[in-house]
Amino acid sequence: MHLRQDIQPVGNIFFYGQRISLPETAGVYAFWWIGSKEELLASNRHIVLKGPGERPVDVTYGDWWPKELLYPCLYVGKSTNIKKRFSLHIKRGSPGRLHVPLQGNKKAKPATSSCQLRFGIEHVFPYEADPLSVIYAKVGFSFNTNFHSNAIAERFFEEDKLVGLWRPWFNIDSER
């Protein structure tokens, strides 16, 4: 696991409230729950995804993280620009909720295809009026941009390996 272990609270990544202090280079990244694990496990841990043939598939987010992790991992991804991808996940220019919770824990249509972290937080905390405050205070971020030889392939394999090892909740999707 080569991802940097210096997990920064998301709220600390901004300089002067506007600029994001992250590199504009390719890498692999992770979002972590750095708040109370009990609070996370008391959240809405059910989501109904569309499975094969549009059939509903009920998924329960479990307490299945490896014990050696300091924090539960929420999402692992890769990008050609860490700074830009971080911004797309947070959508900090959009206050309030972006996703209205659906009846029966059905998965709402995400605002964009690249805001998995924001969508996931809004799903597990369906009554939170200010999800950005939760993200800033209780979600951490780490990344690795050290991929030299065969970088595209290495980032792909690293992301895949970390998803399998860390079992992040928001990386789960149904078969299409």
The CA-CA-CA angle for residues 129, 132, 135, to 5°, reads 120
The arrangement of secondary structure in 8-43+63-100+111-171, i.e. its CATH architecture, is 3-Layer(aba) Sandwich (3.40)
3-state secondary structure of 94: coil
The kind and range of the H/E element at 139 are strand 139-144
Residue 176's pLDDT is 45
Q: What does the pLDDT read at residue 156? A: 94
Tell me how far CA of residue 71 lies from CA of 81, 126, 141, in angstroms: 24, 22, 11
Structure tokens at 123: 């799903």
How far is 128 from 131, CA to CA, in rounded Å? 6
Q: Report which residue type is found at 123.
A: H
Helices vs strands, H then E, count in the chain: 5, 8
> 123 and 47 in contact (C-beta within 8 Å)?
yes
| Max CA separation in the chain (angstroms) | 48
φ, ψ of residue 112 to 5 degrees: the values are -140, 170
- Per-block average pLDDT, block size 10, for the chain (176 residues)? 74 80 94 97 95 91 92 96 95 92 91 92 96 97 91 93 95 70
Give me the pLDDT at residue 175, please: 53
Residue 2: predicted pLDDT: 53
Tell me the residue type at 18: Q
What residue ranges do the domains of the chain occupy?
8-43+63-100+111-171
How much is the pLDDT for 1? 45
pLDDT of residue 38: 96
CA distance 75 to 105: 20
